[in-house]
Amino acid sequence: MKRNIPSIDDFRMVLALIQEGSFRAASETLGLSPSALSRQIAVLEARLDTRLFDRDTRNVTPTASGHAFGRLAERMINTVDDVMSEFEAHLSARHGCLTIAGLPSVTAGLLPGLLASFAEIHPDIDLRIVDALSGSVIEAVEAGRADIGFTAGTISARLRLTFHPLLDDPFVAVGAPDGPLAEDRSYTMAELLRMPFIAMETGTSVRELLDGACQRAGTVLAPRFEVAHLATAGALVAEGLGISILPTLTLPVLPMERLIQRPIRNFGAKRRIGLVHQPGRSLSPATNAFLKHIRQHLQAF
């Protein structure tokens, strides 16, 4: 039974012969010789066990079965052309879907401008943003719930996924205007760690880098408050409950109209922000288009 299923070339061949009305004209359209086209039509008729065309030395006329097959051929070819147009749009990144996971500081501070310019160039690509803490970003990419992720280049991220660095995000001290950071100067880690401290919880990229800075300073962080979300940290700092040390990309998430920032003299590290994706897995055209867009705008990689 499977041998009797016509190919798309069979449909194109029959439709061309119906439309052109002669083997010579149809063969020119198809890029075949008239004799080759005649043989292929005869083979198809034998496979279908029906005559599609009546022909003599001068004329070729579709039979009733030929007309029926021609109508089906036209529908099939139109469907194939539509499908291939849609697939070509996918390959050229004119259509598609892109899911991006990212740290809240990145999705609020870095992504909006990039997404606005990307959407202008690729208006028919659907974009979905998943903002999450570092571990959740990595898990979303590993599980395939996100195509790519924006996260910090922590040890965990580098061990589990392919990491492409984009930019370095320096740390600053943040406090209330009338609090311990009232003096407009740079502060040492030793000074900052003696102040009431509001820290991000263990497991966040910010905390991992902060703990490393404390180790280099020969001390252990003893925070007054530990929080999971930047907005909470900002609110507590704004109320004068303590200071915090945060990367500059996080500042748009905070109520900076009620806060001040100060440089840190010897923090000793910067948060390296980059893109992660699954190693060995091919990226979609939409994802590749977005990566190209990022390279052009951030001059990355």
Contacts of 260 (CB under 8 A, 6+ apart): 174, 175, 176, 177, 181, 182
- Band (pLDDT 50/70/90 cuts) for residue 3 is low
Q: Are residues 28 and 155 part of one domain?
A: no
Whether residue 36 is found in the same domain as residue 10: yes
pTM as predicted: 0.62
pLDDT grade for 300, boundaries at 50, 70 and 90: very low
| pLDDT attached to residue 1 | 41
Task: Assess if residue 239 is contained within a domain.
Answer: yes
Determine, yes or no, domain membership for 77: yes
Average pLDDT for 198-217 = 88
* Domain match, 110 and 141 both: yes
Residues 83 and 112 in one domain: no
Task: Give the residue ranges of DSSP H helices in the chain.
Answer: 8-20, 23-30, 34-48, 64-91, 104-109, 111-121, 134-142, 155-160, 189-193, 205-216, 230-238, 285-298
CATH number of 244's domain: 3.40.190.290
Mean residue pLDDT across the chain: 87
Give 252-278 pLDDT, tens digit per residue: 889 999 999 999 998 888 888 888 998
- In which domain, by residue range, is 20 found? 2-88
What are 156-186's pLDDT values in tens digits? 667 788 888 888 899 999 999 999 999 999 9
- The answer on 145 and 31 residing in a single domain is no
Q: Are residues 117 and 253 in the same domain?
A: yes
Domain count, the chain: 2
Q: Is residue 151 domain-resident? A: yes
The DSSP result for 250-296, as a single string, is: GGGGS-GGG-EEEEBSS---EEEEEEEE-TTPPPPHHHHHHHHHHHH
- Which residues touch 93 (CB under 8 Å, ≥6 apart)? 122, 125, 285, 286, 288, 289
Alpha-carbon span 108 to 149, nearest angstrom: 14
Compute the Cα dihedral for 243, 246, 248, 251 and give only its sign: negative
Distance from chain centroid for Cα 148:
5
CATH number, domain of 74, equals 1.10.10.10
Q: Note whether residue 23 is domain-resident.
A: yes
Indicate whether 9 pLDDT > 80: yes
The mean per-residue pLDDT over the stretch 135-152 comes to 89
Q: Is residue 17 scored above 50 in pLDDT?
A: yes
- Which ranges in 92-147 belong to alpha helices (H)? 104-109, 111-121, 134-142
Do 133 and 266 have their domain in common?
A: yes
